[in-house]
């Protein structure tokens, strides 16, 4: 069933009888070929059901055509269990509802595609939560968590997934629906299957007693011990048998979950956190067993390598430093996060004190940072949760590989085990970074291996030695992430022949035709089978002459030292572009919804295709010849890139730094060369070039502005150019900043008149403010002058300087370089003198610090980047400097009238990406009485020309409706501050409200 005609038949029949989306094209299948493991298998087809009925139909058609089935949630598994040659059914888009909550009984019933964080957000009002707090809580689905028997950081207190699932309704391989719950209530097929498994458990009782790992963290195989518990923690407190537990951890190989009944826990009212700083890793490991006796709800490890990597990441640095006793001293070798939680705050404070005393008794006085403040704790937990991703940010082909990353050993052996395994790593020329669940003896460690070279051989050798250690310490080889492909073959090793045979019998009883996720748990492939891997020795990248400079990614690393070779030495035939794309490890963090910017197009569509991960996978497959011919310039890649708004949310929030906005520019540069630009693209791209001429032709600006007033004209423009008639267009001004009579100071003026001690600043007038909202630049200049600065606005006789952003956004990199060079030639005159360059439009001024550094523009670009600031960033920076007598320019000179008015701030995505939103709030606070609030918003959706394009207008508005427009609607009297001209326009089109640039707000309140 691999021939295209057969997969088309499958699709045709499912689509005929259901409302499901079904995909058979190589792009879609390629995007579902991977999870967060090293494996890759292109599925037969992909089905995205809209409801339960669609799944029933898909299962039936697949059964009739003998096509294997692979249920999927977020696809964040680490062992390859979510990859396979099957019909992949993605529950996460629609099949994700909360069906019911019984607060009294503390029971929730959910569909399998529901994401854990979304469930917990809905449970908050009941003061309840589902406590299996996996690190991937923002993207892991309940179905996937049950499929893997996932475990959270607090499993020492709450147990694993299996301890918290009360019932499962599932489709069996036959298509029949069965309810799995308490055995005493079981009926029909569930009862028959339960009894069969019970007989097997009886038959193999001796082997179960002897071979079954006794640690809490054992997730391998099927839970044959439900009839005679072998775990530290009973499956149920009352000891009764629940048949749903048989399905938990079955990795989609026994049944397809339709709904899950979950046992909820009360939300703890208070938490305290002790962060212990260790100067020796061994001491940290050795202490865990003693700390566990204090009754914490979590003990989590973060080692030095991870602390150092985290401190290099702008998103994490400040938070990590709150956990350190002395941030100026050498980084501790390890920290342990010890959490106490409950309803009695005083008792928790006492537990924290006990921890401090214990550490002193263990010879480590003054080693505990005591955190009682909830927000500080939350921030630190977020960083711990990002642990793996921080580690995966290592550039080069050697990557930390998961295959023994969650072996669990009893706490008393933890220190010995970690020492011995570290020795094994060095024997094979590598090392591992350690982190995670010290409380339950499950430490995550991934040795760095290069799967394109000898990685697979080393992986097997290390796994074999690790297995000996796990057996020696009576641990579990698979303690958290499941079996999948990396650990499937170790099930037999762990449990012995008889139990392995029993697993086979269970599988056969549930799934006689071997249709449900075949090759997982029973009859697994070899872990080092190259044909199942994403990267392998025959993986090849097509040569590519890139438009941007990706050499920083074109490097190799040293597995032992993690040192990275110089830029450009990585032997990437695509000059570093493919290595940048391959940084995506499929962890799915871009599927989160809660906070931040990434990824607006996914938030609206919930399509894998319109997700940072989906785009990175599409590019990777294209660059490595796994899609159609000429794939990089194909429709497949174009479609995947289409809704990327270039917001740079991923640049900052993707833990491995996948910067899709830049990748889109690179892609477009090739695509446009092959296919050319449409007239509309040209109009947008070359706007800065012709704008000047329009203002010079008498009457033309007025004529063009008619388009906004005459609906028929707008429709005509839409028909001819594809610019949405629903949009207003920026209004042409005849008096622009460049032809304004106001005299601003030039460098020569400044020098000749020798304003000794005066401070000159350059106010860079971008096309949008300069041409359509020159009053913003006037306001900025007036504010700066009121503070005592001399302001220079660059202009040239035949037009104005432009950063080239509109050209870049359309992939016209060569043309953009010409504009950029001209601008740099001009600005570097100032930068050389240390004169600050200030911009109002975040997208423009920040491109000088971002894209310019990847355009091969040399030292000039570096120098100008160092002197470029957003308007408010400059004011905040200056405000922090003590006023100097030798010149009187200082923001302290600004005197503002007081305000009572509510002020809401929408941060431009690029301000967020560069962490320069805070200055907007700080500078607004210079106005007496001002209490500006930041709107928790993703991208506004306008994103340059994107929202004007007829085919994108609707989705652009949907992006705005995620949170930006509702927040503004709820504040009818508020002043709305938005520094991005696109954002202001979007707010205007969406609500008819006029948002203001901060410069205008400051000017408004300036005392005369």
Give the tokens for residue 4.
Answer: 């295209």
Tokens 């109002």: give the residue: 840
Smaller CB separation from ligand FAD, 590 or 660: 590
Contact partner at residue 274 from ligand SF4, ligand FAD, none, CB < 5 to 8 Å by partner kind: none
**Binding span for ligand SF4 by CB under 6 A among 55-63, 66-74, 567-575, 607-615:** 607-615
Rounded Cα gap, residues 153 and 135, in angstroms: 8
Contact partner at residue 932 from ligand SF4, ligand FAD, none, CB < 5 to 8 Å by partner kind: none
Q: Least separation, in Å, of the C-beta of 156 and ligand FAD?
A: 13
Q: Least separation, in Å, of the C-beta of 139 and ligand FAD?
A: 6
Using CB under 6 A as the binding rule, the residues of this chain from 623 to 662 that contact ligand SF4 are: 644-650, 654, 656, 658, 660-661
Give the tokens for residue 342.
Answer: 């409950």
Tokens 């940084």: give the residue: 583
Binding status of residue 181 toward ligand SF4 by CB under 6 A = no
Contact partner at residue 76 from ligand FAD, ligand SF4, none, CB < 5 to 8 Å by partner kind: ligand FAD
Contact partner at residue 600 from ligand SF4, ligand FAD, none, CB < 5 to 8 Å by partner kind: ligand SF4
Smaller CB separation from ligand SF4, 660 or 903: 660
192: phi then psi, degrees, rounded to nearest 5: -60, -45
Contact partner at residue 612 from ligand FAD, ligand SF4, none, CB < 5 to 8 Å by partner kind: ligand SF4
Residues in contact with 375: Cβ distance below 8 Å, sequence separation at least 6, in sequence order: none
Contact partner at residue 144 from ligand FAD, ligand SF4, none, CB < 5 to 8 Å by partner kind: ligand FAD
Q: How many residues does the chain have?
A: 1008
From candidates 424, 598, 631, 640, binder to ligand SF4 by CB under 6 A:
598
CA–CA–CA angle 85, 89, 94 (5° rounding): 160
- Work out whether the CA dihedral 868, 873, 875, 880 comes out positive or negative: negative
From candidates 94, 384, 615, 707, binder to ligand SF4 by CB under 6 A:
615
Could you tell me if 721 and 715 are in contact, meaning their C-beta atoms sit under 8 angstroms apart? no
Q: Least separation, in Å, of the C-beta of 114 and ligand FAD?
A: 10
Task: Give the H/E segment covering residue 381.
Answer: helix 374-385
Smaller CB separation from ligand FAD, 75 or 131: 75
Q: Least separation, in Å, of the C-beta of 935 and ligand SF4?
A: 18
Binding to ligand SF4 by CB under 6 A, coded x per residue (else -) over 552-591, reads: --------------------------------xxxxxxx-
Binding status of residue 148 toward ligand SF4 by CB under 6 A = no
Binding status of residue 987 toward ligand SF4 by CB under 6 A = no
Question: Pick from 709, 711, 712, 705: which is nearest to 730 by CA?
Answer: 705
449: phi then psi, degrees, rounded to nearest 5: -135, 150
Contact partner at residue 388 from ligand FAD, ligand SF4, none, CB < 5 to 8 Å by partner kind: ligand FAD
Contact partner at residue 84 from ligand SF4, ligand FAD, none, CB < 5 to 8 Å by partner kind: none
Q: Which residues bind ligand FAD (CB under 6 A)?
A: 35-36, 70-78, 81-82, 91, 112, 134-136, 140-141, 143-145, 147-148, 150-152, 251-252, 256-257, 388-389, 480-481, 517, 587
Smaller CB separation from ligand FAD, 252 or 980: 252
Give the tokens for residue 965.
Answer: 């427009």
From candidates 40, 150, 377, 601, binder to ligand SF4 by CB under 6 A:
601
CA–CA–CA angle 695, 701, 703 (5° rounding): 150
Q: What is the size of the binding site for ligand SF4 (CB under 6 A)?
A: 27
Rounded Cα gap, residues 994 and 511, in angstroms: 62
Smaller CB separation from ligand SF4, 556 or 601: 601
Q: Nearest 10 degrees: CA dihedral of 613, 615, 621, 627?
A: 140
981: phi then psi, degrees, rounded to nearest 5: -65, -35
Q: Least separation, in Å, of the C-beta of 582 and ligand SF4?
A: 10
Q: Give the count of beta carbons closer than 10 Å to the beta carbon of residue 564.
A: 17
Q: Least separation, in Å, of the C-beta of 24 and ligand SF4?
A: 24
Rounded Cα gap, residues 868 and 861, in angstroms: 10
Rounded Cα gap, residues 476 and 155, in angstroms: 16
From candidates 33, 599, 840, 940, binder to ligand SF4 by CB under 6 A:
599
Residue 334, judged by CB atoms within 10 A of its CB (0-12, 13-18, 19+), counts as: buried
184: phi then psi, degrees, rounded to nearest 5: -65, -20
User: Beta strands 933-934 and 903-906: pairing type?
Assistant: parallel
Contact partner at residue 584 from ligand SF4, ligand FAD, none, CB < 5 to 8 Å by partner kind: ligand SF4
Binding status of residue 613 toward ligand SF4 by CB under 6 A = yes
Give the tokens for residue 911.
Answer: 């301000």
Q: Least separation, in Å, of the C-beta of 50 and ligand FAD?
A: 15
Binding status of residue 262 toward ligand SF4 by CB under 6 A = no
Could you tell me if 946 and 645 are in contact, meaning their C-beta atoms sit under 8 angstroms apart? yes
Smaller CB separation from ligand FAD, 147 or 410: 147
Tokens 């709107």: give the residue: 935
Q: Least separation, in Å, of the C-beta of 73 and ligand FAD?
A: 2
Contact partner at residue 615 from ligand SF4, ligand FAD, none, CB < 5 to 8 Å by partner kind: ligand SF4
Give the residue ranges of DSSP H helices in 562-686: 577-581, 600-605, 612-623, 635-642, 649-653, 660-675, 679-685
Smaller CB separation from ligand SF4, 478 or 669: 669
CA–CA–CA angle 370, 372, 377 (5° rounding): 90
Binding status of residue 395 toward ligand SF4 by CB under 6 A = no
CA–CA–CA angle 801, 804, 809 (5° rounding): 155
Rounded Cα gap, residues 279 and 284, in angstroms: 9
Rounded Cα gap, residues 38 and 451, in angstroms: 9
Contact partner at residue 57 from ligand SF4, ligand FAD, none, CB < 5 to 8 Å by partner kind: none
Smaller CB separation from ligand FAD, 256 or 1005: 256
Q: Least separation, in Å, of the C-beta of 148 and ligand SF4?
A: 18
Q: Least separation, in Å, of the C-beta of 294 and ligand FAD?
A: 22
Smaller CB separation from ligand FAD, 170 or 622: 170
Q: Least separation, in Å, of the C-beta of 133 and ligand SF4?
A: 19
Contact partner at residue 645 from ligand FAD, ligand SF4, none, CB < 5 to 8 Å by partner kind: ligand SF4
Q: Least separation, in Å, of the C-beta of 651 and ligand SF4?
A: 7
Orientation angle between helical segments 660-675 and 813-832, nearest 10 degrees: 130
Contact partner at residue 661 from ligand SF4, ligand FAD, none, CB < 5 to 8 Å by partner kind: ligand SF4
> Distance of alpha carbon 268 from its chain centroid, rounded?
28
Q: Least separation, in Å, of the C-beta of 25 and ligand FAD?
A: 21
Smaller CB separation from ligand FAD, 131 or 152: 152
Contact partner at residue 524 from ligand SF4, ligand FAD, none, CB < 5 to 8 Å by partner kind: none
Tokens 């001429």: give the residue: 693
Helix (H, G, I), strand (E, B) or coil at 645: coil
Contact partner at residue 75 from ligand FAD, ligand SF4, none, CB < 5 to 8 Å by partner kind: ligand FAD
Residues in contact with 879: Cβ distance below 8 Å, sequence separation at least 6, in sequence order: 890, 891, 892, 922, 923, 926
Q: Give the count of beta carbons closer than 10 Å to the beta carbon of residue 872.
A: 29
Contact partner at residue 644 from ligand FAD, ligand SF4, none, CB < 5 to 8 Å by partner kind: ligand SF4
Cβ density class 506-527: b for 16+ within 10 Å, e for less: bbebbbeebbbbbbbbbebbeb
Q: Which parts of this chain interact with ligand SF4 (CB under 6 A)? A: 584-590, 598-601, 612-613, 615-616, 644-650, 654, 656, 658, 660-661
């Amino acid at each position: 069933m691999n021939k295209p005609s057969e997969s088309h038949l499958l699709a045709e029949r499912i689509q005929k009888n259901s409302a499901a989306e079904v995909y058979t094209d190589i792009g879609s299948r390629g995007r579902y070929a991977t999870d967060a493991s090293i494996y890759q298998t292109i599925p037969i087809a992909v089905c995205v059901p809209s409801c339960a009925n669609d799944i029933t139909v898909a299962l039936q058609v697949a059964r009739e055509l003998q096509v294997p089935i692979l249920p999927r949630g977020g696809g964040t598994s680490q062992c390859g269990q979510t990859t396979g040659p099957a019909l992949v059914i993605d529950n996460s888009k629609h099949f994700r509802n909360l069906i019911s909550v019984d607060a009294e009984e503390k029971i929730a019933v959910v569909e399998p595609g529901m994401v854990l964080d979304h469930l917990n957000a809905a449970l908050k009002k009941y003061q309840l939560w589902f406590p299996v707090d996996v690190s991937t809580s923002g993207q892991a689905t309940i179905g996937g968590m049950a499929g893997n028997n996932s475990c959270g950081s607090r499993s020492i207190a709450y147990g694993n997934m299996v301890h918290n699932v009360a019932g499962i309704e599932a489709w069996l391989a036959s298509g029949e629906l069965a309810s799995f719950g308490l055995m005493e209530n079981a009926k029909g097929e569930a009862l028959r299957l339960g009894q069969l498994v019970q007989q097997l458990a009886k038959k193999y009782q001796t082997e179960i007693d002897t071979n079954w790992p006794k640690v809490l963290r054992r997730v391998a195989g099927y839970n044959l011990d439900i009839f005679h518990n072998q775990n530290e923690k009973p499956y149920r407190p009352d000891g009764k048998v629940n048949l749903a537990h048989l399905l938990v951890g079955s990795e989609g190989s026994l049944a397809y979950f339709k709904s899950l009944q979950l046992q909820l826990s009360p939300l703890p009212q208070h938490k305290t956190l002790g962060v212990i700083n260790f100067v020796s890793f061994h001491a940290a490991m050795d202490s865990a067993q003693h700390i566990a006796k204090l009754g914490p709800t979590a003990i989590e490890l973060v080692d030095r390598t991870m602390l150092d990597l985290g401190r290099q990441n702008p998103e994490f640095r400040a938070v990590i430093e709150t956990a350190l006793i002395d941030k100026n001293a050498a980084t501790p070798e390890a920290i342990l996060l010890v959490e106490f939680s409950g309803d009695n705050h005083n008792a928790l404070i006492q537990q924290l004190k006990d921890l401090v005393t214990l550490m002193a008794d263990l010879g480590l006085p003054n080693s505990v940072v005591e955190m009682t403040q909830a927000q500080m704790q939350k921030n630190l937990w977020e960083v711990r949760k990002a642990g793996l991703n921080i580690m995966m940010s290592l550039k080069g082909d050697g990557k930390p590989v998961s295959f023994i990353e969650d072996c669990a050993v009893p706490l008393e052996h933890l220190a010995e085990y970690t020492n011995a395994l570290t020795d094994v790593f060095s024997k094979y020329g590598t090392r591992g970074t350690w982190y995670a669940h010290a409380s339950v003896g499950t430490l995550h460690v991934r040795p760095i291996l290069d799967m394109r070279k000898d990685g697979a051989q080393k992986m097997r050798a290390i796994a074999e030695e690790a297995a000996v250690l796990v057996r020696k310490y009576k641990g579990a080889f698979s303690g958290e992430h499941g079996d999948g492909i990396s650990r499937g073959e170790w099930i037999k090793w762990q449990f012995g022949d008889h139990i392995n045979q029993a697993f086979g019998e269970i599988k056969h009883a549930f799934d006689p035709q071997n249709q449900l996720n075949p090759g997982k748990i029973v009859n697994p492939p070899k872990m080092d089978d190259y044909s199942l891997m994403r990267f392998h020795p025959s993986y090849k990248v097509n040569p590519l002459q890139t438009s941007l400079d990706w050499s920083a990614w074109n490097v190799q690393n040293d597995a032992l030292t993690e040192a990275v070779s110089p830029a450009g030495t990585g032997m990437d035939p695509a000059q570093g572009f493919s290595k940048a794309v391959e940084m995506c490890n499929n962890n799915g963090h871009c599927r989160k919804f809660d906070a931040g910017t990434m990824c607006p197009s996914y938030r609206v569509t919930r399509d894998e295709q319109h997700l940072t991960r989906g785009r990175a996978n599409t590019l990777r497959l294209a660059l490595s010849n796994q899609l159609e011919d000429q794939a990089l310039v194909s429709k497949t890649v174009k479609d995947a890139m289409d809704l990327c708004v270039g917001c740079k949310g991923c640049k900052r929030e993707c833990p491995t730094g996948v910067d899709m906005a830049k990748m889109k520019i690179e892609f477009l540069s090739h695509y446009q060369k092959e296919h050319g630009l449409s007239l509309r693209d040209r109009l947008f791209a070359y706007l800065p070039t012709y704008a000047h001429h329009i203002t010079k032709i008498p009457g033309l600006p007025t004529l063009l502005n008619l388009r906004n007033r005459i609906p028929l004209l707008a429709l005509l423009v839409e028909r001819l150019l594809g610019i949405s008639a629903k949009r207003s267009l920026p209004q042409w001004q005849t008096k622009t900043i460049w032809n304004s009579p106001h005299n601003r100071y030039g460098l020569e003026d400044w020098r000749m008149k020798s304003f000794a001690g005066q401070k000159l600043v350059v106010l860079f007038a971008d096309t949008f403010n300069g041409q359509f909202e020159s009053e913003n630049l006037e306001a900025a200049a007036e504010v700066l002058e009121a503070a005592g600065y001399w302001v220079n606005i660059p202009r040239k006789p035949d037009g104005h300087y432009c950063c080239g952003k509109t050209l870049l956004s359309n992939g016209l990199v060569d043309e953009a370089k010409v504009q950029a060079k001209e601008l740099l030639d001009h600005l570097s005159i100032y930068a050389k003198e240390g004169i600050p360059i200030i911009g109002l439009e975040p997208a423009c001024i920040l491109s000088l610090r971002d894209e310019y550094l990847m355009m091969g523009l040399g030292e000039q670009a570096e120098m100008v980047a160092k002197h470029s600031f957003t308007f408010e960033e400059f004011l905040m920076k200056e405000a922090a400097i003590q006023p100097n007598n030798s010149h009187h320019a200082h923001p302290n000179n600004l005197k503002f009238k007081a305000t009572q008015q509510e002020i809401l701030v929408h941060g431009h995505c690029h301000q967020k990406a560069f962490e320069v939103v805070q200055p907007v709030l700080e500078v607004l606070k210079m106005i007496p009485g001002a209490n500006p609030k930041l709107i928790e918003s993703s991208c506004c959706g306008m994103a340059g020309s994107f929202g004007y394009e007829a085919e994108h207008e609707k989705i652009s508005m949907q992006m705005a409706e995620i949170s930006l427009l509702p927040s503004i609607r709820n504040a009818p009297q508020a002043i709305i501050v938005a520094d991005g001209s696109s954002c202001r326009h979007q707010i205007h089109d969406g609500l008819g409200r006029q948002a203001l640039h901060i410069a205008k707000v400051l000017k408004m309140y300036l005392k005369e």
